[in-house]
Amino acid sequence: MWPLVRIESIKQVKDRSLLFWTILLPVASIILLIELFTSGSSQAQKTLVASQSVTGMSVFFSTFVIISIVISFVKDREKGIVARLASTPLQPHHFFLGKCVPFFIIILFQVLLLTILGVYLYGIEITQYSSYFLVVVLLSMQVTSWGVAIAAFAKTENTGLVMTNMIALGTAVACGLWTPFDQLPSYLKIIGMLFPQYWAHQGLVQSVSTLPGGENLILVTAVLIGYTLLGFILSLVGYKKYIKRARG
């Protein structure tokens, strides 16, 4: 498993597009939104907007790492790497874990970087760093597991791209990642609470003193772990089809 982790890590470090999706675009988007909506406002108002933007956009942009996961899986399948690995004693769960670890670290780094940006540039106040970090870890696990599940079933890179955009944009609207959740229509609130992105965002919110609301940490933890396990189960279910396409 660990050699696979090392190989995948090297591949992602060399991928310049990943730098754009995980760092440059999120940082530029957050700064632009904050400056656009707080022009001429007080520092307190700017901090409030920054708190919503940083927590919401952290969850939103973490989803786009799924694109890199799908691309990695599809390329390995098409190049015959997966077919060769299938002939070794490597177990399916070891294969998925080996591919997952680098992306888990990428998402973790991305969200923590955006958080540091908000704290030091806009004065966001985090009251419970341990709780906040726990939610970031759980979010990274959940997104990674669902990225692998999508990659296992995706026939092409475009399929994964379409599915990722649908998930990212749909949950951004319904889960209150772009606007405060309490300002959404009641029907969108009901829909939004069905997605793990809502629980991840509310888990971050409950540790930020400059934002009202948030969900109980125990409930957030249970929901995100449940979605993570479901993602890995779907990955294992799709593994046979993934291997079959690789051998074909």
Per-residue model confidence as pLDDT tens digits over 212-247: 778 899 999 999 999 999 999 998 888 878 777 775
For range 90-111, the mean pLDDT: 86
Check pLDDT > 80 for residue 63. Answer: yes
Distances (CA, A) of 116 to 51, 84, 183, 222, 226: 12, 42, 27, 26, 28
| Amino acid identity for residue 22 in this structure | T
**DSSP-assigned states of every residue in 138-155:** HHHHHHHHHHHHHHHH-S
> Per mean pLDDT, which range of 43-57, 137-151, 194-208 is the poorest?
43-57
Give the least confident one: 8-22, 61-75, 124-138. Answer: 8-22
Q: For 68-85, write each residue's pLDDT tens digit.
A: 888 888 888 877 766 676
Q: Give yes or no for a contact between 126 and 209, defined as CB atoms under 8 angstroms apart.
A: yes
Q: Of 75, 69, 149, which is closest to residue 104 (Cα–Cα)?
A: 69
The predicted pLDDT at position 28 comes to: 93
**Mean pLDDT for the stretch of residues 11-15:** 76
What mean pLDDT do residues 49-72 have?
91
Q: What is the pLDDT of residue 2?
A: 64
Q: Give the pLDDT confidence score for residue 144 in this predicted structure.
A: 95
Do residues 143 and 63 touch, judged by C-beta distance below 8 A? Answer: yes
pLDDT of residue 99: 82
Residue 107 has a pLDDT of 95
**68-72, 116-120, 163-167 — most confident range:** 116-120
Per-residue pLDDT, 86: 62
Nearest-10 Cα torsion for 48, 51, 53, 55: -160
Radius of gyration from C-alpha coordinates of the chain: 19
| Residue that wins the pLDDT comparison between 224 and 97 | 224
- Looking at residue 41, what is its pLDDT? 77
pLDDT of residue 247: 55
Question: Which has more confidence, 12 or 118?
Answer: 118
